[in-house]
Amino acid sequence: METKLLKGNQQPPMELLLTADPSEQLVKEYLDRGQCYTAEIENHTAGVYVLLETSDDTIELINIAVDEQYQGSGIGKALVKDAIQKAADMGYKKIEVGTGNSSIGQLALYQKCGFRISDIDKDFFVRNYDEDIFENGIHCRDMIRLSQILKGD
């Protein structure tokens, strides 16, 4: 699977991005500042992620989504690994990611890919989203922040 950086004139797969973040306003804001990568399978967007620089040496994986028909096939893990490699190739020293306290699958995935829990932003989703979010029967309230130190050349 190969990922491609979207150019300025290419439209990001908004419907897919909104499956990972239900706020269209927030997605548009970080798309303006970040780099959007897509993974295609037979001319269909199978997955997407966005990288956003947060400091000179840190980049954040801010949205990652896999089309429903490809979920469970390893594409999510491949996208996370691809994002980690791209961040290292660009010279960043650290990559971060955040997910909801109710996102059990994502928490497991990130840790399997080498991320470690680094912080908790309490009530992040309550403060930033108009409607309550529930996943896995759990109220999504807190942002679990994870990070990974990248290896240099």
Pairing of strands 143-149, 94-100: antiparallel
pLDDT score recorded for residue 39: 96
pLDDT score recorded for residue 22: 87
The two structure tokens encoding residue 102: 């109710």
- Asked if 29 and 60 count as a contact pair (C-beta separation under 8 A), the reply is no
pLDDT tens digit sequence for 57-112: 999 999 999 999 999 999 999 999 999 999 999 999 999 999 999 999 999 999 99
- Asked if 129 and 22 count as a contact pair (C-beta separation under 8 A), the reply is yes
Helix/strand/coil for 150? coil
What percent of the chain stands above pLDDT 70? 99
Q: Which domain holds residue 7?
A: 3-149
Q: Provide the number of structural domains found in the chain.
A: 1
What percent of the chain stands above pLDDT 90? 88
The two structure tokens encoding residue 144: 């679990």
**Average pLDDT of span 108-131:** 95
- Taking all residues of the chain, what is their mean pLDDT, rounded to a whole number? 94
pLDDT score recorded for residue 2: 86
pLDDT tops 70 at residue 56: yes
pLDDT tens digit sequence for 139-149: 999 999 999 99
Of 34, 107, 38, residue with least CA distance to 75: 38
Supply φ then ψ for residue 79, to 5 degrees. -65, -45
Could you give the angle at the alpha carbon of 39 between the alpha carbons of 44 and 118, nearest 5°? 140
CATH of the domain at 41: 3.40.630.30
pLDDT score recorded for residue 62: 95
- Asked if 38 and 4 count as a contact pair (C-beta separation under 8 A), the reply is yes
In this prediction the pTM is: 0.91
